[in-house]
Structure 1
Amino acid sequence: MDAPSKQITTSNRHSSGWYTASEVALHCVPSDCWLTLLGLVYDVTSLLPLNPPYLAEPMLLRAGGDVSHWFEPRSKDVRLVQDPKLQILRAFTPQGRFIHIPPQGPISDWDNGYLLPWWLDDQYVIGRLSPKTRFVCIKNVLLANEVIIEVPSEETMKEILERYLPINSHARSYSWEAVVSDECGEFVRVDMDKSLAENGITDDSDLYSSMGMAADHVVPCIHVYYDDDLTIA
């Protein structure tokens, strides 16, 4: 189907642990700072006020974005480069020294009272960045409205429903149906414990891209039909 004009990008944390780059990008201010690193999503908001502003600044410059190029993929530790003047290895800090990177010499405001640097500390990891996302249209047949949501391809329909709840708080009282690849164009009820692909809802975005069309120009549509009102808004 042709894509409806209204697109929604969610910004809350998700029980699935999967995130899209678009929603990570929404967390880009000092009071709400997320970063992606080697496929993981970090919430470093709590670190920023505990450290000098000049150490937080490089991370804020990349807030809502990716810093994988600062790190070694194998060790997941900071990349080391040769200092041309001192002829020693030092941390790769293209935007300046950042939190938990030690100084090269004595300094009064250096705090080394942490057990692990933030990039190796699981307490800051909130999930994973989806390497493949999909756009899906959800049409409320009762109200005759529809929205497009970008979702990680790894999520189940039940987890996609959670993303839809801020738009329709009674979504759990609806039946979810879609056209699947082996049902001759007819809408059938989807298995909420399976992903879009596992339900036979094909992803043709690569085909559209090869034809010069935007990936979200044509998207699969899920129809939600009202059953009863057993949920509480």
Structure 2
Amino acid sequence: MRYTKQQWYTPAEVAIHNTASDCWVSANGNVYNLTPWLEEQIRLCKCTKTCSCPTKNWFCNDCVEYCPCFKRGYVYCDAKRLAMTILMYAGKDLSYWFKDGNWVQQIHPITGSTVTYRKHGHGYRNPVVPSTRWRPFEPWWRGDKYVVGKATAKTRPIRITNTLTGSTVTLEVCSEETIYEIMMRYLPHNSHLMSYTWRYMGKSLCLKKTLEENGILDERDRFNDVALAENMHIPAILLYYDDDLTEDPPRDECFCGDVTCKINKPAACYKSTST
């Protein structure tokens, strides 16, 4: 079996990356990993600051001594303003910040000029009023430098039932994913997928097509129209064991979870086992 990299992400998968050391956001249909961008922004801060908290990290909130930016009345350090703004919205969708691929703009009430609308301020690199501190700003949302995948427009539940063992797993998948990509999500529950035939209503599924293209419709909107619960009926895909005696190639991760095993990497633990 050929393992592929995940292409589509659900909002729940993006939401778990909500820390300074692991910061993901979604915007304009893409998912961005802004962790290296945050680190680069923090290096721009030249303020002298002594942190008294034990963690000694830039994102701690219990510092006793603050940099001069705090003494001037700023909520955040001026050099860290943009980074802290992104960190506040880590794991969330930021599409409403943009319009037609550019930052939403407004008429500044003081200067009367058209500027980008940023709720928490512009930062020291792009001041609103004319200043010698102005520096070019590299938009993180342009290009593929920080893109890790695509954000789904709609998620849907799907049940996968193994007719051999009788086990059933309910997954939240992206509506744009093909059956093969859904198989990658189901892989932790059954590592010997190629020995099974995937069927729905007695018909074999095409692995290169989505659920909708295979005739597995999402009827939750119809349930809502007649005041029924969305989870009243979840379509089920049935897996039939073929007994073809095939074996999957070794994976790069161990299945046993033993720490010493992961360090030594014995060949026996890295062979796929059937369920």
Q: TM-score range by the shorter chain?
A: 0.7 to 0.9
Q: Normalization by structure 2: what TM-score?
A: 0.67
> 1:32-60 CA deviation, whole Å, 9 max, x = no partner?
21111122221112111111343211111
CA distance in 2, matches of 1:215, 1:225: 28
* Contact 2:24 2:32 (8 Å CA) reproduced: yes
What is the aligned partner in structure 1 of residue 85 from structure 2?
58
RMSD, aligned α-carbons: 2.4
Aligned-residue sequence identity (percent) comes to 36
Describe the superposition over 1:116-172 as per-residue Cα deviations: whole angstroms up to 9, x where unpaired.
Answer: 421112211222222232210011222222111111122111111011112222223
* Greater helix fraction, Structure 1 or Structure 2: 2
1:78 aligns with 2:78: no
**Counterpart residue number, 1:208:** 223
**What TM-score, normalized by structure 1, do the two folds share?**
0.78
Give the whole-Å Cα distance in 2 for the aligned partners of 1:57 and 1:43: 15
Report if the CA contact (8 A) 2:199-2:205 is conserved.
yes
Letter in 1 for 2:183: L
Question: Is this contact kept in 2: 1:16–1:155, CA < 8 A?
Answer: no
Q: Which amino acid aligns with 2:29?
A: G
What secondary structure does 1:194 align onto?
Answer: coil
> Which amino acid in the other structure matches residue 40 of structure 2?
L
Question: Cα offset for 1:111?
Answer: 6.8
Deviations 1:88-118 (A, max 9, x none): 22221113447x96233344xx874x7x421
CA distance in 2, matches of 1:101, 1:40: 26
For 1:29 and 1:217, the matched residues in 2 are separated by 36
Sort the Cα spacing of 1:125 and 1:199 in 2 relative to 1 into closer, same or farther, 3 A: same
Aligned to 2:14: 24
Q: Is the 8 A contact 2:32 2:146 kept in 1?
A: yes
| Residue matched to 1:218 | 233
Runs of 4+ in 1 over 4 A off after TM superposition: none
Greater RCO between the two (CA within 8 Å, min separation 6)?
1
In the TM superposition, what whole-angstrom CA distance separates every residue of 1:170-214 from its partner, at most 9, and x where no partner exists?
2233221112xxxxxxx2221112211111112211111223334
CA contact (8 A) 2:81 2:120 kept: no
Q: 1:11 matched to which residue of 2? A: none
Give yes or no for contact 2:161–2:239 (8 Å, CA) kept in 1.
yes
Structure 2, unpaired ranges of 5+: 43-79, 249-270
Query: CA shift at 1:19, angstroms?
Result: 1.9
Consecutive unaligned residues of structure 1, counting only runs of 5 or more, are: 1-13, 180-186
Does the C-alpha gap of structure 1 residues 24 and 214 become closer, same or farther in structure 2, counting only changes over 3 Å? farther
Taking the aligned partners of 1:125 and 1:106, their CA distance within structure 2 comes to 32
Aligned counterpart, 1:189: 204
1:88 corresponding residue in structure 2:
113
Are 2:112 and 1:122 equivalent residues in the alignment?
Answer: no
- Are residues 81 and 164 of structure 1, via their aligned partners in 2, closer, same or farther at CA, if it must alter by over 3 Å? same
How far apart, CA to CA, are the structure 2 residues paired with 1:161 and 1:202?
18
Instruction: Indicate which of 140, 159, 162 corresponds to 2:162.
Output: 140
**Does residue 25 of structure 2 align to residue 35 of structure 1?**
yes
1:150 aligns with 2:172: yes
Q: Which entry has the higher C-alpha Rg, 1 or 2?
A: 2
